[in-house]
Amino acid sequence: VNSNVLVGIEHQLWATSRNHPQSSSTLLNTGEIILASGNNVVGIMIDIERMVDPDRIPHKTINDGKIIINNQNSIGMDFGQYIYGYSGVFKVDVSLGNIIVNGKNNYGARMKNIFVKPQTDPLYPTWSKYYDMVTVTSGTGKKITVNGEENVGMAIGKSLSAVARESAPGANDTNPIANISDLNIEVAGEKNIGFLRLKDYSDNNTNDMILDSTTMGTFTFGNGAKNSSLVRTDKHGIQVKKDISITGKDADGNDYTGSGNTVLHSNGETQHVYNYNTITVGKGFTKTVGMAATGTKASTIDNIINEGTIALQAKQSIGMYTDKFSQGKNTGSIKLSGVGDTDPSGN
């Protein structure tokens, strides 16, 4: 945890009295928070000073304006660690709002793997549940827009513990991102990532993240996206159970263009991504890869599996790609149109 940061607004939650369970705080941003220059800057930081009653109403952090990141190594909205105040209750509803990520090496929003203890530590059962009472949404009509270079829209290193919302006692089958709803991400720029399961992801829940009609709003590539990934895991697995349609047009009705992008990416020999629905990418996005798996050591599992449909309309596209270390399996449908547009020479 880096304490050498500059924070625009800190929402530090405080609620100790059991006599006032209906009281809470709301942080509402309706202006513009601009991270103009420098490094290690956070637009809005959310953490806990003290909260003891799990039955009280949640605090609210709402970005109804804009957070604009123009610098480097910074974060639009982040969660912090204040060790001396957390005692098992951290209850807040977060609306991310419009976050515009420019610059380089930035995160639009992040849920970091904080409050870390080994499983043998007496504090582990409490600390592993840090995000269990947190909810996150983009907000109606709002999105994270990823521009710039080598940026990430939403990065998650820890979320719900495996027992947070299990289907039956002892099932340990909680979707780690079941506390996220209607998340909207648009990836433009170069070498960017829209949604990332971080490589240091917590051991509190190794289940697959499930991106479905509840957790996902709209995930798409924006105009000019280049060599970027829409969804990527660097630890454990992700399942996609909602259609992804990347067919945007500009104000003049022309197709968005881009090149060298990957829709779903499993990065590492023990990671995996499964697609169960339909991926559609428009003709302007050349050299698109529907699903890709890469690693540095030989894999013993199928790192990418397609049981849905991958429909890529642009030229020089690849439905599924595995490198020499990784494996993949297709039992669904792959459709490559290769239509694209022609240049003045007819190519």
Q: What is the pLDDT of residue 119?
A: 94
Q: What is the pLDDT of residue 21?
A: 67
The C-alpha atoms of residue 155 and residue 195 are separated, in whole angstroms, by 6
Instruction: Indicate yes or no: pTM above 0.85.
Output: yes
Q: Are 153 and 188 in contact (CB under 8 A)?
A: no
Q: What is the pLDDT of residue 242?
A: 99
In this predicted model, what pLDDT tens digit does every residue of 282-320 receive, in sequence order?
A: 999 999 999 999 999 999 999 999 999 999 999 999 999
For residue 88, pLDDT over 80 is answered with: yes
In this predicted model, what pLDDT tens digit does every residue of 115-136 receive, in sequence order?
A: 999 999 999 999 999 999 999 9
Residues 232-257: what's their mean pLDDT? 96
Buried/exposed 34-57: b ≥16 CB within 10 Å, e otherwise = bbeeeeebbbbbbbbeebeeeebe
Cβ-proximal residues to 278 (8 Å cutoff; 6+ apart), any chain: 243, 244, 245, 308, 309, 310, 311
Q: Are 8 and 33 in contact (CB under 8 A)?
A: yes
Nearest CA among 227, 201, 183, 217 for reference residue 94:
183
